Amino acid sequence: MKTARRTATLGASATVAITSRAKALVAEGVDLVTLSAGEPDFAAPGFVLDATVEALRAGHTSYAPVGGVPALRDAVAERFTRDYGVPFTRDQVIVTVGGKEALYDLFQVLVDPGDEVIVPAPYWVSYPTQIAMAGGRAVTVPCDASRGHALDIEALKAALTTRTVGVVLNSPNNPSGAVYDAESLGALADLAVQHDLWIISDDIYSAIRYDDTPFTSILHVRPELRERVFIVHGVAKTWAMTGFRVGFLAGSRVVLGRCMAVQSQTITSATTFAQHGALAAITGDDAFLGPWLAAYDARRRLVHAALEAMPGVRCALPSGAFYAFPDMRGLLDKRHRGDLVGNDRHLAELLLERAHVAVVPGSAFGSPGFLRLSYACATDRLALGLERIAAFVAELS
């Protein structure tokens, strides 16, 4: 029997693949330190759980309207109006099944076969694949580690062609932890106007920042661009609600209308009672976040100091999100127990199988030679994982 070519080469995301192998090792009884997960290790706030259970008991168990529960759309519009300094109304916001579905719908609506979308690297793993699923091509533009993975506007400019339809932004960035500044966003805004481009701004980590680093959106810098800017957000990271699968998409009413048509033919809506939990989250008190950020911050410093102390490893101190993205290129020509390390994928494999630490190879994010370590895990496990990596590195010859 036949299957379609469309998904023949579509693999599971690299993070999911590592997680599966890690789970298999744990099932075999291995005491594995998992630094590969992209989700907070905290439990969702109690008031969110209460609101979700109440929603179930109150009978919010049937289909929600396409585009989301109206009260949630209103609340997101209100919150975005406050956070972005640009007025949003209900029809400029839809609720999606996580930020992932917001991105998927957008690429389906914006990208024709042969169109190009610029994706600064390192990038979150799903952008290029989702663009390809829409028939388009992701044109990746490296953002150099030596410049803190800041947006490279000259390189972006050089990557533009007549087929470019948009640019994806992700700040704070997964995996680099970089936070984009107003100047580079302003320069990008100019390019967007000159070349008539969409800007897809994935702000899912906007609340997770350190050292008073401000969050600057392209909308803060150039609010008049609002018709060409989409904001992708959700409850997964800030509120530790990854399993709720609730995301938000804000932007042009016309494009959102098309996204809702996609939703009506695919998902109908995000899970109704989960949307009520999300409503409690985004209208509730953010006080829970302070202690979480303090914990992430302490771990960020721990992971940074430990990596910098390893010979051949360089690591920038991340400004946001909960990942460190060390440059391991200094280790790639070395051997571990006689086996050549060679590249980041093999390095991640060796760390998993021999040091029992799960990390994600940088090539999955478009940056070969790097590794991504998540510090959204218990501090003692993180410390143990770092000790194991240090011992592995010390064994290289």
Ligand X SMILES: Cc1ncc(COP(=O)(O)O)c(C=O)c1O
Residues at the site binding ligand X, with contacts judged by CB under 6 A: 38, 98-100, 124, 170, 174, 202, 204, 234, 236, 242, 247
The H or E element that residue 79 is part of is helix 70-84
Q: Give the other-Cβ count within 10 Å of 82's Cβ.
A: 9
Q: How far is the CB of 236 from ligand X (least distance, A)?
A: 4
Q: How far is the CB of 99 from ligand X (least distance, A)?
A: 4
Q: Please state, in angstroms and rounded to a whole number, the distance separating the CA atoms of residues 344 and 328.
A: 7
Give φ, ψ of 80 to 5 degrees: -65, -35
Nearer to ligand X, 247 or 277 (CB): 247
Q: How far is the CB of 161 from ligand X (least distance, A)?
A: 25
CA distances from 7 to 4, 51, 132, 191, 386 (A): 6, 39, 10, 33, 37
Q: How far is the CB of 247 from ligand X (least distance, A)?
A: 4
Q: Give the other-Cβ count within 10 Å of 24's Cβ.
A: 11
Sheet holding 93-96, edge to edge: 93-96, 247-250, 229-234, 198-202, 164-170, 116-121, 137-142
Nearer to ligand X, 124 or 392 (CB): 124
Nearer to ligand X, 246 or 396 (CB): 246
Nearer to ligand X, 14 or 331 (CB): 14
Whether residue 250 contacts residue 231, with contact meaning beta carbons closer than 8 Å, is answered with yes
3-state DSSP helix/strand/coil % of the chain, to nearest 5 = 45, 15, 40
E-only strand ranges, the chain: 33-34, 93-96, 116-121, 137-142, 164-170, 198-202, 229-234, 247-250, 323-324, 335-336, 339-340, 357-358, 360-361, 371-374
Q: Please state, in angstroms and rounded to a whole number, the distance separating the CA atoms of residues 248 and 253.
A: 14
Alpha helix (H) ranges present in 333-378? 344-350
Nearer to ligand X, 234 or 385 (CB): 234
Q: How far is the CB of 216 from ligand X (least distance, A)?
A: 17
Q: How far is the CB of 100 from ligand X (least distance, A)?
A: 3
Nearer to ligand X, 98 or 331 (CB): 98
Q: How far is the CB of 5 from ligand X (least distance, A)?
A: 26
Residue number of the CB closest to ligand X reads 98
Q: How far is the CB of 21 from ligand X (least distance, A)?
A: 18
Nearer to ligand X, 38 or 366 (CB): 38
CA distances from 380 to 189, 351, 377, 383 (A): 43, 18, 9, 5
Q: How far is the CB of 79 from ligand X (least distance, A)?
A: 16
Nearer to ligand X, 120 or 331 (CB): 120
Nearer to ligand X, 208 or 316 (CB): 208
Q: How far is the CB of 174 from ligand X (least distance, A)?
A: 4
CA distances from 78 to 72, 87, 90, 94, 233 (A): 10, 8, 9, 13, 14
Nearer to ligand X, 34 or 174 (CB): 174
